Amino acid sequence: MASPPIPPLLGHLAGRPFAFYPAILNVEPNQWFFRKATWSELVVVNGKTGAELSIPRRFVGELSSFDEPFPIVGLHRQLEYRDGAVWPYGRRVIEMPVAGERAAPNGLPHSVNPAEEAARPSGPAPVVGIRLESPRGSRTLKLVGGALAAAVFLGGVSLVRVGGMRQRVVAAKGHAVFELRAEDGYRSVVRKLGPPDGDRSLSQGGVEYRALGYSDLRFTVILRGGPADARYLGTMDANWQPIHSVPPAAGDSPLALLRALKRF
């Protein structure tokens, strides 16, 4: 029998972390690795706890077109981890009393007393005219209110534009980290990601490391080597877990070095 096909949206995620949206409840962090696929489900592994979950394919949606810095895999339903398995998350629904009933003190439905119902006035409530302000005051308030509304609207549009532009810039930088190569040094990293807001050094196991922090992107770029010849090794996320590394070479395992590297 032929092996089940790997879904196209997850085929290129082998070895790379990704996140679900909405996140699966009762499991943290929202960082996963694709393990395998069957005809009916996908098997994923949590990047920190190692927990292995089987998710029915009918719940798996589309893959996001950008990384921040993780790819995002959509879910058709909110899921929760319970009793060792993944289940659709259902919110509790409180049944309200139907028309003609009211809640008794003990919480049970209680029928309306016919005598009480008959005593209630029928027809619409009387309308009472109330004068709030003079015509001149009304016009002044309308002008002031219109000016305030216009100012709030214009300010909101500006905030949306600035916020949307910043999100696009952050997303573009987050995607660029996966384009870094082993030959990239400090200058080429800055050219692709911009200047870091943190620059630290560490010597571990006789090897020099340099950490370039990007707080807005929530990751740290790791260079290996001395000040003059440091080259790109990989990238750590906010929890100090590797999310990207250069390919292994003969006798060299960049991913193992990143996992053994203490936080600095």
User: What is the pLDDT at residue 84?
Assistant: 82
What's the one-letter identity of residue 219?
Answer: F
**Sequence spans of domains, the chain:** 8-88, 177-260
State the Cα–Cα distance between residues 236 and 127, nearest whole angstrom: 68
The enclosing H or E element of 153 equals helix 135-176
Q: What are phi and psi of 212, to 5 degrees?
A: -105, 110
User: What sections of 40-134 are H helices per DSSP?
Assistant: 114-119
The answer to whether 233 and 243 are in contact (CB under 8 A) is no
Residue 223 confidence class, pLDDT cut points 50, 70, 90: very high
Q: What is the pTM of this model?
A: 0.41
Residue 12 confidence class, pLDDT cut points 50, 70, 90: low
User: What is the pLDDT at residue 33?
Assistant: 86
Burial class of residue 58, CB neighbours in 10 A (0-12, 13-18, 19+): exposed
Residue 63 confidence class, pLDDT cut points 50, 70, 90: confident
The answer to whether 191 and 201 are in contact (CB under 8 A) is no
The position carrying tokens 């573009």 is 172
What mean pLDDT comes out for the span 159-175? Answer: 48
User: What is the pLDDT at residue 125?
Assistant: 58
Number of alpha carbons in the 13 Å side-chain half-sphere of residue 26: 13
What mean pLDDT comes out for the span 118-122? Answer: 59
What's the one-letter identity of residue 53?
Answer: L
Greatest C-alpha distance within the chain: 94
User: What is the pLDDT at residue 21?
Assistant: 85
Q: With 70 as the cut, is the pLDDT of residue 159 above it?
A: no
> How many other C-beta atoms lie within 10 A of the C-beta of residue 104?
11
Better pLDDT: 119 or 199:
199
Q: Which pair of tokens denotes residue 56?
A: 């029915």
Number of alpha carbons in the 13 Å side-chain half-sphere of residue 143: 6
Q: Contacts from 188-196 at CB under 8 Å and sequence distance 24+? A: 189/221, 189/223, 189/232, 193/217, 193/221, 196/221
Number of alpha carbons in the 13 Å side-chain half-sphere of residue 11: 6
DSSP SS3 for 247: coil
